[in-house]
Chain A
Amino acid sequence: MENFVLANSGHNRDDEASKFGMWLFLFTELLLFGGLFLVYTIYRYLNSEAFLHASYELDVVMGTVNTVVLLTSSLTVALSITALQKGNIKLTQGLLVATILFALTFLVIKYFEWSAKFEHGLFPGMDHYDHLIPAEKMFFFLYFFMTGLHGLHVIVGGVLLGFVMWDIKKKKTTPDNFVYLENGGLYWHLVDIIWIFLFPLFYLIH
């Protein structure tokens, strides 16, 4: 009697539930950025000329390269799931290392981009920024806020994938039990999807 446990226990393994939970979390992430996209939409509508003018300050080449880097990292993480499903653990680990390296590449490029903006004094409170018209200030602040928040998600995603690698090493994530890898991958793809929208909205207003 004392040890009676139900068959449908919340402590059982349930991969579908874990994935479902991850998807729900991604919905909240979408709407978190959604609030920012809303602000962006309204201010761009109100100040389209200024946004256009300010966007020329951004480096299309760096933006494009970063887009390619993120898309490729999405590919490697997707491939790593296939590799693990096929039981090829070495390849899985290699692909995850590649993904994390791509994440770092993205951040390094972002660092150079931001540094260039800082040198131009375009961060709030800096010299050049203070002399901009309000609408252009809005553009640059949204640029820093949105790419900054996105960068934070890149870091979180990279760390998550690092944890998954640790799990694979500890043989907790295996070809029979890989929901953590799937969930880490899902998060990573979300980071990619958000960038897919940020890129044209900031770099490609022409």
Chain B
Amino acid sequence: MSVALAQPENFYQAKRGLFSWIFSTDHKRIGLLYFYAIISFFLVAMALGFLMRLELIAPGETVMGAKTYNQVFTLHGVIMIFLFLIPSVPAFFGNFLLPLMIGTDDVAFPKLNLFSWWLYVLGGIFALLTLVVGDGPADTGWTFYAPYSVKTGTNVTLAVLAAFILGFSSILTGLNFIVTIHRLRAPKMGWFQMPLFAWALYATAWIQLLATPVIGITLLMIIAERVFGVGLFDPSLGGDPILYQHLFWIYSHPAVYIMVLPGMGLISEMIPTFAKRTIFGYKAIAYSSLAIAFIGYFVWGHHMFTSGMSGPARVIFSVLTFLVAVPSAIKVFNWVATLYKGAIDVKTPLLFSLAFIFQFLLGGLTGLVIGALATDIHLHDTYFVVGHFHYVMFGGAGFAFFGALHYWYGKIWGKMYNEKRAQIAFWLMFIGFNTLYFPMLVLGLMGMPRRYYDYLERFETLNVISTVGSWILITGILLMIINLIVSRKSGKVAPRNPWGGTTMEWQTPSPPPLHNFDATPVVPEGNPYDHKNNITEKA
């Protein structure tokens, strides 16, 4: 591999100029376009989160008043969910890696893929416009609960429209992936020779496709209510606000699996590589992705235990909620079993994966606590809930995203990141994260309600600890990003397969050529994580 001439032109070199990016139909470029947009939005929402924690460092008003605080947490939620978590893994890693992993050169509908990105940008612009237009950003929370969302004077219409457009973008990405996986797998690749990340994307894509339209129409109804002054969900006009909650969570509960399932897929890729062992229970993990996606459609009512839903409905939703824990646990057990007696190579992506398992476990188990009807009555709308979903969403999906960023860094940008700095950044993030969010679980148990800019004095100590945690976490994130930016220039050149991975994206040069492969890739026999079949040992 020392002869540079043997390397074909990579996809960066194939075309140049701004238009070759923003009008590109190449899945790798579109993936990167998503990445730069997604990470920018992440930093904006992270800054908002920083401000919220700063406000909560002491009781009473410190840096912002009640209304501003409401707007800040709404914008934080809307950006983190619709602009970061939902597109993060599918739209960036999915776009970049899926065709490489299944041995093809693009998604099934490349132009539609570009269109999805443009919709994403449009939705992002609308979301940001709420900051400068009219009466400021929405102050409803990311759930846009009626009837308040119909009555508030803030820019709910624009924010809701942004979410609608982003949903459309998400639907088209999902549609594209489903068709790609069905039609474009390498000729010899059967369903059970697909990498588990592809399985996770497939399951996710079905949620994107079949749940998102429901939120789309619900958001349109909110807009119609505001524009025409009718009362679809306003009790004073004959409507029922609980019906809005049903419609909202019919989408938004499955949507949390849009956020975490692809992250689980990433973990399933990283763990066998760094344990140097084949994955334990390949089929179980593949099926559990489908099972999570499927069961996820039946549990939305657990968000509404205190809303006035009927008793029997609450019981049924609570029971069904426990079912989701089964496939989630199957995944965790299989990851741990994969590590058992492995030749573990402790690199940054593995550290992130292990942190994922730990934090997802905490997030999942606290999820059971609030999925249980009786305990939820006590914990509903407290900081326990905030702690729970940050453990799952950030400690889970977010950490998987950042781990994967290190794992495929070489494949995507052609250089290796600096391992030492990356590990320091990881430990800062891990410590910061747990210092930030663990106190929230305790605060919730003590009864501190969420979504207020103020709190009672007895909650102060833990809030201070939590705020300090946010500073450590942000330091870690910034260090990680700086490391990744610097490594792009100063890092070592990445070989085809720096980690000894067994899936097909490692068979092509880093970064890949325009058409992804320089020779027909070899489909591994049997399951894709068998290290005995590894035909491209470390170059």
- Which residues in A have some Cβ–Cβ distance to B below 8 Å? 1-11, 14, 16-17, 20-21, 24-25, 27-36, 38-39, 42-43, 46-47, 124-125, 133-135, 137-138, 141, 145, 149
Known contacts A10-B105, A11-B110, A124-B228; A135/B187 CB under 8 A: no
Task: List 23 interface pairs A-B (beta carbons < 8 Å), by A numbering.
Answer: A6-B104, A6-B186, A8-B184, A8-B187, A9-B104, A17-B183, A17-B184, A20-B179, A21-B109, A28-B171, A29-B213, A31-B214, A33-B217, A34-B214, A35-B250, A36-B221, A38-B247, A47-B238, A125-B228, A134-B231, A137-B237, A137-B238, A138-B232
Residues from chain B with Cβ under 8 Å of A33 in the complex = 217
Q: Does B212 belong to the interface (CB within 8 Å)?
A: yes
Chain A residue nearest to B106 (CB atoms) is A10
Known contacts A2-B9, A31-B210, A31-B214; A42/B104 CB under 8 A: no
Residues from chain A with Cβ under 8 Å of B99 in the complex = 10
* Other-chain residue from A10, A47, A141 in contact with B180 (beta carbon distance below 8 A): A10
Q: Which of B197-250 contact A (CB under 8 A)?
A: 209-214, 216-218, 220-221, 224, 228-232, 237-240, 243, 246-247, 250
Whether B213 lies near A35 (C-beta < 8 A) is: yes
Whether B217 lies near A2 (C-beta < 8 A) is: no
Identify which of B333-341, B482-490, B512-520 touches chain A.
B512-520
- Distance in angstroms between the alpha carbons of A16 and B183 in the assembled complex: 9
Q: Which of B89-119 contact A (CB under 8 A)?
A: 99, 103-110, 112
Chain A residue nearest to B176 (CB atoms) is A21
- Distance in angstroms between the alpha carbons of A33 and B218 in the assembled complex: 10
- Distance in angstroms between the alpha carbons of A141 and B225 in the assembled complex: 10
Whether B108 lies near A14 (C-beta < 8 A) is: yes
Residues from chain A with Cβ under 8 Å of B6 in the complex = 1
Whether A1 lies near B237 (C-beta < 8 A) is: no
Residues from chain B with Cβ under 8 Å of A125 in the complex = 228-229
Least CB distance, B106 to chain A, in whole angstroms? 3
Interface size of B in residues (CB-CB distance below 8 Å): 58
Whether B108 lies near A10 (C-beta < 8 A) is: yes
Whether A4 lies near B519 (C-beta < 8 A) is: yes
Whether B518 lies near A42 (C-beta < 8 A) is: no
- Distance in angstroms between the alpha carbons of A21 and B246 in the assembled complex: 29
Q: Does B496 belong to the interface (CB within 8 Å)?
A: no
Q: Which of B166-195 contact A (CB under 8 A)?
A: 171, 175-176, 178-180, 182-187
Whether B105 lies near A6 (C-beta < 8 A) is: yes
- Distance in angstroms between the alpha carbons of A170 and B211 in the assembled complex: 38
Chain B residue nearest to A21 (CB atoms) is B179
Shortest beta-carbon contacts, A-B, top 9: A134-B238, A10-B106, A35-B217, A32-B213, A31-B213, A124-B228, A17-B183, A28-B213, A35-B214
Known contacts A7-B187, A38-B247, A145-B221; A27/B210 CB under 8 A: yes
Least CB distance, B172 to chain A, in whole angstroms? 8
Chain A residue nearest to B239 (CB atoms) is A138
Name 13 extra pairs, CB < 8 A, besides A10-B99, A17-B179, A21-B176.
A8-B103, A9-B105, A10-B105, A17-B109, A17-B182, A24-B179, A29-B213, A33-B217, A39-B243, A124-B230, A134-B231, A134-B237, A141-B232
Known contacts A4-B513, A11-B105, A42-B240; A28/B212 CB under 8 A: yes
Interface centre among A11, A16, A35 (most CB of B within 10 A): A35
Q: Does B281 belong to the interface (CB within 8 Å)?
A: no
Least CB distance, B264 to chain A, in whole angstroms? 23
Interface centre among A2, A28, A137 (most CB of B within 10 A): A28
Q: Does B526 belong to the interface (CB within 8 Å)?
A: no
Q: Which of B252-275 contact A (CB under 8 A)?
A: none
Least CB distance, A118 to chain B, in whole angstroms? 13
Least CB distance, B357 to chain A, in whole angstroms? 33
Chain A residue nearest to B219 (CB atoms) is A35
Least CB distance, B308 to chain A, in whole angstroms? 14
Least CB distance, B178 to chain A, in whole angstroms? 6
Whether B182 lies near A20 (C-beta < 8 A) is: yes
Q: Does B134 belong to the interface (CB within 8 Å)?
A: no
Residues from chain A with Cβ under 8 Å of B515 in the complex = 3-6, 9
Q: Does B65 belong to the interface (CB within 8 Å)?
A: no
* Other-chain residue from B8, B112, B183 in contact with A20 (beta carbon distance below 8 A): B183
Residues from chain A with Cβ under 8 Å of B246 in the complex = 38
* Other-chain residue from B109, B179, B185, B216 in contact with A8 (beta carbon distance below 8 A): B185
Known contacts A21-B179, A135-B238; A9/B106 CB under 8 A: yes
Known contacts A31-B210, A35-B213, A124-B228; A46/B517 CB under 8 A: no
